[in-house]
Amino acid sequence: MTLRGKIGAVVYDLRASGVVRNLLRIAERARSDGFDFEIWPLRAQGEFVIQAKDTATVNPILSVPVNAQRDLDSLFHQDALAEALGKRAPALVFSAGNQMHWHLAKALQKLPSDVRPRVVGRVSNAVVSLGEANPLFRAVIKPQERFQYQAMNHVVAVSQELRNQLVGGLGLEAERVSCIPNGIDVNRFSGGQDGAAAIERPVILGIGRLSKQKDFGTLIDAVAKLRTSQRPILRILGRGTNAWKAKLTNHAKSKGIGDQLELLGHVDDVAIHLRRADLFVSSSRWEGASNAVLEALACGTPIVATKAPTGIEEVLLPLGRDILVPVGDPDALARAIETRLGQPRGSDGLIERARDFGLSSTLDRYSQMFTEQLSLAERPSHRSPRTPAAHLQYN
């Protein structure tokens, strides 16, 4: 049975990213639960196109793939997004990650108020205006962040720390903001657990898009400072431009560890690499809630991480403060890496912590949220973002 009302999930493209991975999990459950759930990328391109089409109907806004900067591409095609929303007339729009929130809000402005759909936004990254950017930039961006979230009827934060930012820092009404943490299929990742590979040199693993956010430069600095008896391999998994690959490669060479760095790009099965690694390091400057951290826990892989806003401490603090270090501090990161490499692997405890973020529970909350939001969409007053219902918390 299909539940009443179409849900259109908006995302820029279908590249290998945490936003898209989580969207596909949500889409699969939504379809299984009977929702008329479609994926509406601005561009149907990226590593996960085939998987997306196997999961749900993929109905792109624009038919031609391009090689363009996604923010600029989205900016130039807000009219196309508005036109698609008007013609497709969904009961509910689900903005799957931060990359499209502002552009979606601008597109909604172009529609007559009586045809605007109800909107739910999943906030997948820390609030920029509360971060480390210079004060002038933060002052400019803060009204824009408020604008994009005020255009939504409901906002889902992926960590409690992020929810606190949205309510306390941006001033969103608390009853319009819920917290649904990212989830992990522990059995899928922990299956076949075999510990670190039997090789002479330890393997330190980093995972994520090659970007300022993931701060692999600081991780390289930390590895260069290690005083371990064996020179570890630093293996980084994640897509990135040739410019970023060259930047990190040259930086590693300048620090004397060029022969230790391996940039493997996107890999389909992250779990294999996690199980074989001696240590996973999250060096991010900011996050929303790290998928990679949950995956490492589920694989039983030891972790060291920066205390990046948001969500990292929520997950890892119960495992001990010594694995958490300040953002951008290579000396502290190196000390934590050395300490953790010298300790027992302790996989059972890590896997048990991952079970606190079970994927089934996360997806149950999304199904509950979609059911109640579709119910509200049927009411005459549903189009006003200022008409929240206090009981709508999916925590």
Listed by start position, the domains of the chain span: 6-183+359-377, 186-356
Residue 63 backbone dihedrals phi, psi, to 5 degrees: -90, -15
User: Is there a common fold for 6-183+359-377 and 186-356?
Assistant: yes
Distance CA 24, CA 277 (A): 27
Cα dist from 77 to 17, 84, 93, 103, whole Å: 22, 11, 17, 9
Q: What percent of the chain has pLDDT over 70?
A: 93
CATH superfamily of the domain spanning 186-356: Glycogen Phosphorylase B; (3.40.50.2000)
Q: Please identify, in words, the CATH class of the domain defined by 6-183+359-377.
A: alpha beta
pTM summary value:
0.90
- In order along its 395 residues, the chain shows pLDDT tens digits of 556 799 999 999 999 999 999 999 999 999 999 999 999 999 999 999 999 999 999 999 999 999 999 999 999 999 999 999 999 999 999 999 999 999 999 999 999 999 999 999 999 998 989 887 788 888 999 999 999 999 999 999 999 999 999 999 999 999 999 999 999 999 999 876 455 555 578 999 999 999 999 999 999 999 999 998 899 999 999 999 999 999 999 999 999 999 999 999 999 899 999 999 999 999 999 998 999 999 999 999 999 999 999 999 999 999 999 999 999 999 999 999 999 999 999 999 999 999 999 999 999 999 999 999 999 998 765 555 544 444 445 66
> pLDDT value at position 389?
43
User: What six digits make up the tokens of 46?
Assistant: 């990226």
Strands annotated E in the chain: 6-11, 36-41, 57-58, 92-95, 118-123, 154-157, 177-179, 203-207, 233-237, 261-265, 279-282, 303-306, 324-325
**Residue 278 near residue 347, CB atoms below 8 Å:** no
